[in-house]
Amino acid sequence: MRTIALLTDFGAKDNYVGVMKGVILNINHKVNLVDITHEISPQNVWEAGFLLYESFKFFPKNTIFLVVVDPGVGSKRRALAIKTKNYYFVGPDNGVLSLAVKEDGLRKAVSLENKKYFLREVSSTFWGRDVFSPVSAYLSKGISIDKLGRVCNKIKELKIPSPQIKGSILSGRVIYIDRFGNLITNINLKDFKNFTKNKEFIFKIKSKNITKFYPYYQKAKNDELFLCEGSFGYLEVSLKNKSASSFLKAKIKDKVKLLLKKYARS
Amino acid sequence: MRTIALLTDFGAKDNYVGVMKGVILNINHKVNLVDITHEISPQNVWEAGFLLYESFKFFPKNTIFLVVVDPGVGSKRRALAIKTKNYYFVGPDNGVLSLAVKEDGLRKAVSLENKKYFLREVSSTFWGRDVFSPVSAYLSKGISIDKLGRVCNKIKELKIPSPQIKGSILSGRVIYIDRFGNLITNINLKDFKNFTKNKEFIFKIKSKNITKFYPYYQKAKNDELFLCEGSFGYLEVSLKNKSASSFLKAKIKDKVKLLLKKYARS
Amino acid sequence: MRTIALLTDFGAKDNYVGVMKGVILNINHKVNLVDITHEISPQNVWEAGFLLYESFKFFPKNTIFLVVVDPGVGSKRRALAIKTKNYYFVGPDNGVLSLAVKEDGLRKAVSLENKKYFLREVSSTFWGRDVFSPVSAYLSKGISIDKLGRVCNKIKELKIPSPQIKGSILSGRVIYIDRFGNLITNINLKDFKNFTKNKEFIFKIKSKNITKFYPYYQKAKNDELFLCEGSFGYLEVSLKNKSASSFLKAKIKDKVKLLLKKYARS
Q: Is B21 part of any domain? A: yes
CA distance A168 to A47: 31
In a shared domain, residues B20 and B97: yes
Half-sphere exposure of C16 (CA within 13 A, CB side): 25
In a shared domain, residues C170 and C253: yes
Subunit contact C39:B13, Cβ cutoff 8 A: yes
Nearest-CB residue to A125 (from B55, B179, B217):
B217
pLDDT single digits (tens) C228-239: 988 888 999 999
CATH code where residue A252 lies: 2.40.30.90
Subunit contact C71:A36, Cβ cutoff 8 A: no
Q: What is the mean pLDDT of residues A53-61?
A: 97
Nearest-CB residue to B218 (from A10, A75, A126):
A75
pTM: 0.95
| Dihedrals phi, psi of C196, to nearest 5 degrees | -90, -30
CA distance C1 to A99: 35
In a shared domain, residues B15 and B145: yes
Q: Which of C58, C61, C87 to mutate to test the interface with B (most CBs of B within 10 A)?
A: C58
Half-sphere exposure of A198 (CA within 13 A, CB side): 0
pLDDT single digits (tens) A63-73: 999 999 998 88
Q: Is A68 part of any domain? A: yes
Q: Which residues of B touch C180 (CB under 8 A)?
A: 42
Checking DSSP bridges between strand A225-229 and strand A213-214, what pairing results, if any?
parallel
In a shared domain, residues B144 and B22: yes
CA distance A182 to B228: 38
Cβ proximity of C151 and C109 under 8 Å: yes
H or E element: which one contains C32?
A: strand C31-37
pLDDT single digits (tens) B146-201: 999 999 999 999 998 899 999 899 999 999 999 889 999 999 999 999 999 999 99
In a shared domain, residues B34 and B147: yes
CA distance B204 to chain C (A): 33
pLDDT single digits (tens) B21-75: 999 999 999 999 999 999 999 889 999 999 999 999 999 999 999 999 998 887 7
Percent above pLDDT 70 for chain C: 99
Confidence at A158, pLDDT banded by 50, 70, 90:
very high
Coarse DSSP helix, strand, coil percentages of chain C, rounded to the nearest 5 percent: 25, 35, 40
CA distance C214 to chain A (A): 31
**Residue whose C-alpha is closest to residue C77's, from C61, C91, C53, C93:** C93
CA distance B122 to chain C (A): 9
In a shared domain, residues C67 and C111: yes
Domain, as residue range, for B202: 164-263
Quick one: closest CA in A to B228, which residue? A125
In a shared domain, residues B107 and B175: no
Q: What is the largest CA-CA distance in chain A?
A: 69
Q: Is A96 part of any domain? A: yes
In a shared domain, residues C171 and C148: no
Checking DSSP bridges between strand A201-205 and strand A183-188, what pairing results, if any?
unpaired
Confidence at A230, pLDDT banded by 50, 70, 90:
confident
Q: At A81, is the secondary structure helix, strand, or coil?
A: strand
Number of H helices, E strands in chain C: 7, 16
CATH code where residue B98 lies: 3.40.50.10790
pLDDT single digits (tens) C14-73: 999 999 999 999 999 999 999 999 999 988 999 999 999 999 999 999 999 999 999 888
Question: Distances in Å between the alpha carbon of C76 and those of A213, A219, C61?
Answer: 18, 11, 32
Of C128, C152, C176, the residue at which a domain comes to its end is C152
Angle between helices A16-27 and B45-55 (to 10 degrees): 30
Cβ proximity of A238 and A244 under 8 Å: yes
Number of neighbours of residue A190 by Cβ within 10 angstroms: 9
What is the tally of structural domains in chain B?
Answer: 2
Q: What is the largest CA-CA distance in chain B?
A: 69
